[in-house]
Amino acid sequence: SQQGEEDPQALSIQEGENATMNCSYKTSINNLQWYRQNSGRGLVHLILIRSNEREKHSGRLRVTLDTSKKSSSLLITASRAADTASYFCATDGENFVFGPGTRLSVLP
Amino acid sequence: DAMVIQNPRYQVTQFGKPVTLSCSQTLNHNVMYWYQQKSSQAPKLLFHYYDKDFNNEADTPDNFQSRRPNTSFCFLDIRSPGLGDAAMYLCATSKVEGSGEKLFFGSGTQLSVL
């Protein structure tokens, strides 16, 4: 069964707005990762947050982790049309398990 | 640049006709993974190799096989493709197994079954 579940399934915003995507998971984790996938391409690693971290930044990306609620959020600030993609969270364990993803559309 | 390369980018096969997808990597990573991704769904792990050790997921159909002749190459063999096997197949690598390792993906092979 899938470990991570992203919310919302689809998100449409205007360029310059912030985009927030959420991920919930079921069991304890050591770390959580976010990946991006452009249409018809492979996934690209964005950021990893460890279970003892609460927040992490990378450029326009901000990731939070709440282990008590078993949830994480990915915030993309000042979005651009080029941010249009699907975003997946993945939790660790013996193997990576991906959630179904959030499809983000950034309209120019 | 070091990378994960999948060939071909698009593959068309006939129902029941064996097909092989290939993946190569220049990262010298120990672990290679094969994922199946259907439209608008999450990538689903089929199996992975840690060096030469093969690890099959419990729900991976027997129709799917894999070979890793050396560190750089890994193949996905579909013995008798069905219409339900049409999907994007993603190869990924990581330096080692375990928590904290990030995956490096190829661009994928889009498989169509006629």
Q: Is residue A1's pLDDT more than 70?
A: no
Task: Point out the residues of chain B with pLDDT beneath 70.
Answer: 1-2, 98-99
The CATH number assigned to the domain holding A15 equals: 2.60.40.10
Residue A43 token pair: 């996934």
Residues of B in contact with A33 (CB under 8 A): 102
Instruction: Report how many domains make up chain A.
Output: 1
pLDDT 10s digits, A14-72: 999 999 999 998 888 888 999 999 998 999 999 999 999 999 999 999 999 999 999 99
Domain B4-109 has CATH 2.60.40.10: yes
Whether B11 and B114 have beta carbons less than 8 Å apart is answered as no
Q: Is residue A107's pLDDT more than 90?
A: yes
pLDDT category at A2 given cuts 50, 70, 90 is very low
Q: Which residues pair with A107 in a beta bridge?
A: A14
Stretch A74-84: mean pLDDT: 97
Distance set, CA B37 to CA B3, B71, B86, B113 (Å):
20, 24, 9, 15
A30 and chain B: CB distance < 8 Å anywhere?
A: yes
pLDDT of residue B17: 97
Q: Do A44 and B43 touch (CB under 8 A)?
A: no
Q: Which domain holds residue A47?
A: 5-107
Q: Do A35 and B103 touch (CB under 8 A)?
A: yes
Residue B90 token pair: 């993603």
Q: Do A98 and B42 touch (CB under 8 A)?
A: yes
